[in-house]
Amino acid sequence: MIVWEEEFPSSYRVPWEVIRLVNSGVMEDLSWRHDPSPSFGARLKDKNWVRLWVEHPIKEKRLGWRDRFTIVVQPELAVPFGWKLLGTEDRDQAVIWMWKIVSERGPRCRFKVQA
């Protein structure tokens, strides 16, 4: 199930590179109806969460973060925000950072991909 597509308009245009990481089980879709934008992430070995927020492409329509892509570390998913690691407009930079964080700090387990 792809939650972000149900909760947010298609105008958010989540990059295919992010969806590919979700589909391959590296990250999971963490989007929720009360969130300001779609988000994707993984639980790390230290039990924190790393989370990539994908804001609206049009700056004036952004509700949570100023940057299009923001990476944070959160102690729990219920905590709305955490320690900001990166804020960028560059999709490739955000995807590379997420990949490095998840692979270097190691997710606790790989996510099961549901068809």
**6 pLDDT exceeds 60?**
yes
The pTM of this model reads 0.86
Position 81 scores a pLDDT of 66
Per-residue confidence at 41, pLDDT binned at 50, 70, 90? very high
Helix, strand, coil proportions of the chain in percent (round to 5)? 30, 25, 45
**Residue 49 reports pLDDT greater than 60:** yes
Domain extents in the chain: 3-105
pLDDT digits (tens, 9 = 90+) for 66-114: 999 999 999 888 776 678 999 999 999 999 999 888 887 766 555 444 3
Mean pLDDT of the chain: 86
Q: How many CB atoms lie within 10 A of CB 92?
A: 11
Q: In the prediction, which pLDDT does 37 show?
A: 93
Give CA–CA dist 21/40, Å, rounded.
9
30 pLDDT higher than 60: yes
Position 15 scores a pLDDT of 93
